[in-house]
Structure 1
Amino acid sequence: MTIVPTGSPAATTAPSERGVGPLLRAWRERRRVSQLELALRADSSARHISFIETGRSRPSEEMVLRLAEHLDVPVRDRNALLLAAGYAPHYPETPLDSPALDSLRQGMERLIQCYEPYPALVVDSVYDVVAANRGLLMFLDGVPEFLLEPPLNAMRLTLHPEGLAPRIRNLPEWRGHLLAQMEREIALHRSARLRALYEEVAAYPVPVREPGGEPPEPVPYFALPLQIEHEGRTLSFVSSISTFNTPMDVTVAELAIETLLPADPATVKYLQSLLP
């Protein structure tokens, strides 16, 4: 298991000059929920929701948290709503290397080690890699040093024309999947850092496959596979992403554990042959 420093501090949450009302209205509209529906969910009234959104009524701290819960607002943005309403943040943002998160780190280490020899990694909200197992590290041979310097970024590593992109046999499909995934995250979190990363990796040129290097014949899979070349073989994986349920810390809420599971018997056989 390798812990990779991100090299940058966690983003801070600043209060909005617009007040909490317009922010709550924006989240409600983003979720396509009417004032009446939100009021019913939060045990309130449509009139009270309207007053909050227009600034005629100041919601209590409990009401802000209740509305954020029913609108499925990310934890970081719940703190922003509280600040905009004049309250202190409710959720801490603990550095991942803090002793307070020792048990979390150890649990993640054990989890991704258990997946070996299958690749597994842990990323933060902008896909910076905070941990990876040996199953993933074996794919980094030959990758230029500038792509491996902290903070190692999973999207940049995968899509850069000098990274893993030339080795991915179904790059157009996999690239489209990753970009669509980032677009959904941007729509949910409205992160400026994630938007900047998206614009960077979306602008990378797509490597042209050498003559005679046609992609493999289509094979039916139960999910879109990542088909990647490794030491003369084509290995196929399907990706699974896990997050923490009901997180009470911003750092924990923004972590995701991604595992790459073999998508065919040949990949299983090869990876198991690597076990000591």
Structure 2
Amino acid sequence: MTYAVRMWQADQSADFGELLRHWRAVRRTSQLDLASVASTTPRYVSFVETGRARPSREMVLRLARALDVPLRERNALLLAAGFAPRYPVAQLGSAQLGRVEAALTSMLDQHEPYPAVVMDRGWNVLRVNRGARLLFGRLLAPDPMPTPANVLRLMIEPGPVRRSVLNWAAVAPALLERSGREAVGGVLDRDTAELVRRLRALPDVAELLADPASASPTAPVIDVRFALGDEVVELFSLVSTIGTPTDVTAQELRVEAFFPTDDDTRAAWRRISSNVKV
């Protein structure tokens, strides 16, 4: 199965009408359908897109909600229409995101001894628990974990992490498919879209993606098989997001928690974690 990756390609300096047309095209929504959901008329939507009408702040937000535009890009729509952004962009660790930080810490701690990480929308690792620190430490040794650590790059570009993934040929196409499916609002931001494009263009990755067999999974979940020294562990993951965010950073956070596939991995992980201090 293939996944159509939608990318944030609109010019950030575009006027509101251009941005509205862009998002309507992304959502494959007609002016009539958009007008119906936003409680306005197709004529008014047409006038806004062509610059013949200037929307109010409330109308900008109604149109953005109707198109399920991510919060960061809703701010861009407001700016293009001449209004101040509505949605804050707090830093993780700030007082504004105190409840979020506490919840993330609890999730990471409760998932021990298995790995769990917090990532932003660009797949950059922001927080790790002890299990994830152990996993990355084993995969990258003797080098330290890079800053920032980007999961897509670590898994797909040549390097020690990729060399440790025994079923890389199955994991890489699935991971690239995930990048589009898990994007905020189903739309990759400009930087992540460029990263995905570059990774897909790597010769061995392009060859994999061109092989129909790579899109024919034989199991309900694709495990990642890591070789960690003399041990082999097989892990699958669950991804969690914040349900009702009103802050840009909060909307873009994801927690990925890894679970052992079988009893052999549970036993191997107990041996690994009991012998190493991290």
Q: Which residue of 2 aligns with 1:158?
A: 155
Q: Does 1:43 align with 2:62?
A: no
Q: 1:256 aligns with which of 251, 254, 257?
A: 254
TM-score, normalised to structure 2, is 0.80
28-37 vs 232-241, which deviates more?
Answer: 232-241
- Residues 138-168 of structure 1: CA deviation (Å, up to 9, x unaligned): 2222515767231122222222322311111
Q: 1:23 aligns with which of 13, 19, 23?
A: 19
User: How many pairs were matched up?
Assistant: 251
How far apart, in 1, do the equivalents of 2:272 and 2:163 lie?
24
Q: Which amino acid in 2 is paired with 1:151?
A: P
CA RMSD of aligned residues (A): 2.7
- Residues 193-213 of structure 1: CA deviation (Å, up to 9, x unaligned): 213433454456769xxxxxx
> Where does 1:1-276 land on structure 2 (aligned, <5 Å)?
16-140=12-136, 141=138, 143=140, 148-183=145-180, 185=183, 188-202=186-200, 221-272=219-270
- Residues 33-65 of structure 1: CA deviation (Å, up to 9, x unaligned): 111111111111111111111111111111111
Q: Secondary structure at the match of 1:259?
A: strand
Contact 2:184 2:251 survives alignment (8 Å): no
Cα 1:142/1:264, change in 2 over 3 Å: closer
Contact 1:159 1:204 survives alignment (8 Å): no
Q: Secondary structure at the match of 1:23?
A: helix
Q: Secondary structure at the match of 1:228?
A: strand
Q: Secondary structure at the match of 2:160?
A: coil
Contact 2:64 2:74 survives alignment (8 Å): yes
Cα 1:234/1:205, change in 2 over 3 Å: farther
Contact 1:42 1:67 survives alignment (8 Å): yes
Cα 1:16/1:221, change in 2 over 3 Å: closer
How far apart, in 1, do the equivalents of 2:221 and 2:188 lie?
28
Contact 1:91 1:250 survives alignment (8 Å): yes
| Identity fraction in percent | 35
How far apart, in 1, do the equivalents of 2:131 and 2:39 lie?
49
TM-score, normalised to structure 1, is 0.81
Contact 2:233 2:269 survives alignment (8 Å): no
